[in-house]
Amino acid sequence: MAIFEDLTTMGHEQVVFCHDKSTGLKAIIAIHDTTLGPALGGCRMWDYQSDEEALRDVLRLSRGMTYKAAVSGLNLGGGKSVIIGDPRKLKSEALFRTFGRFIDSLGGRYITAEDVNIRVQDIEQVALETSYVSGVTSRAGGSGDPSPVTAYGVYNGIKASVKFKLGRDDLKGVTVAVQGCGAVGSHLVEYLVNEGAKVFVADIDGEKVKSNVKLYGAEAASLQDIHRLQVDVFAPCALGGILNEKTIPEIKAKIVAGAANNQLLDEISHGSMLQERGILYAPDYVINAGGLINVYQELHGYDAAIAKKKAAGIYDTLLAIYQEAVEKGMTTNQASNQIAEKRLQAVAGMKDLRNTLGTQRWAKR
């Protein structure tokens, strides 16, 4: 993997490799862009097959956070971190506190939070060594687990997609296939069922599937077939890369709208494949922005009602993106990228002007 070539192509500012022999910590922190503010993005823990796979994941995830913050109107940059290893074996207080020291050494350029396999209690251990964390419990003055707000944003994004594609104002009778019943997926299932949607669920963990069937009346499906079901909406809520050359031709849904990051294995070709098949795609970093909105609110004094209200705004954001895509004849992910990049360029230009004016004032002294 050509690391610096990838950094140049993707526009990253900084990548930090973290290692501690005594705790077994192997982690990567990627800061993509801080034009709009400090880079904020969760930490995920995963037993990657290789270090290169972990690096590729954190680079893509951190870039997505930049676009997510920009298109959501937040004053944040994009960053992400990954801890390499089996979370069932490697987790310890010492590991997370050591990770916290690495984060603290960046002086606030990167703020972390929960992501895949990282829970509130893990982040609280990180917070023992650094203040640059978000998503701690309400007892500590934080917002706690952002998953419910992420799910609420995805739920509103599905409603917007159904409105745009199917002309429906509600989800009663709408069929949805949810791939992944983790923290976000389960909350999403609850929101969907409560509005009368017919929901199918699948997960690598059979117990999670049983739980959603029992609690919400969802119908179980196999993990291999969940994306092939004859439904209105396919909602990927697991790991990325699910939309690829193999799966896209098998999708029968009219809409793809889910919480997973980096759903398109290749942003250009696979976004075009969905468009050519007439499938409406909700750009993942737009529809799943509720979690970021939630932890951003924590930085300014947490108010759950305000966070949820802002997450509901994903409905209008997606409708605007869909309309932009139609008017300009481009894919929905291209349209959302353009909107995000336009804001980034405007703020960067403002900063350049401010620096120029500051230099001129200094020169006159």
CATH architecture of 147-335: 3-Layer(aba) Sandwich (3.40)
Question: What was the pLDDT predicted at 250?
Answer: 97
Query: Considering the chain, what percentage of its residues have pLDDT values greater than 90?
Result: 77
> Across the chain, where does the E strand assignment appear?
14-20, 25-33, 39-40, 43-46, 77-84, 110-111, 175-179, 198-202, 219-220, 233-236, 255-256, 280-281
Question: What was the pLDDT predicted at 363?
Answer: 47
Question: What was the pLDDT predicted at 355?
Answer: 55
Fold match flag (3-140 vs 147-335): yes
Question: What was the pLDDT predicted at 329?
Answer: 94
What contacts 94, CB < 8 A, 6 or more positions away?
Answer: 22, 23
The DSSP output letter for 73 is T
Q: Which residues does the chain have with pLDDT short of 50? A: 353, 357-360, 362-363, 365
Question: What was the pLDDT predicted at 138?
Answer: 55
Question: What was the pLDDT predicted at 1?
Answer: 54
**What tokens does 323 get?**
């309309």
- pTM for the model: 0.82
Question: What was the pLDDT predicted at 267?
Answer: 84
Question: What was the pLDDT predicted at 102?
Answer: 98
- Going from N- to C-terminal start, the domains of the chain cover 3-140, 147-335
CATH architecture of 3-140: 3-Layer(aba) Sandwich (3.40)
Catalytic residues: 80
Question: What was the pLDDT predicted at 126?
Answer: 96
Question: What was the pLDDT predicted at 185?
Answer: 95
Question: What was the pLDDT predicted at 304?
Answer: 84
Question: What was the pLDDT predicted at 362?
Answer: 46
The closest of 153, 4, 29, 6 to 103, measured between CA atoms, is 29
The three-class DSSP label of residue 311 is helix
Q: Contact 261/288 with Cβ under 8 angstroms?
A: yes
The three-class DSSP label of residue 153 is helix
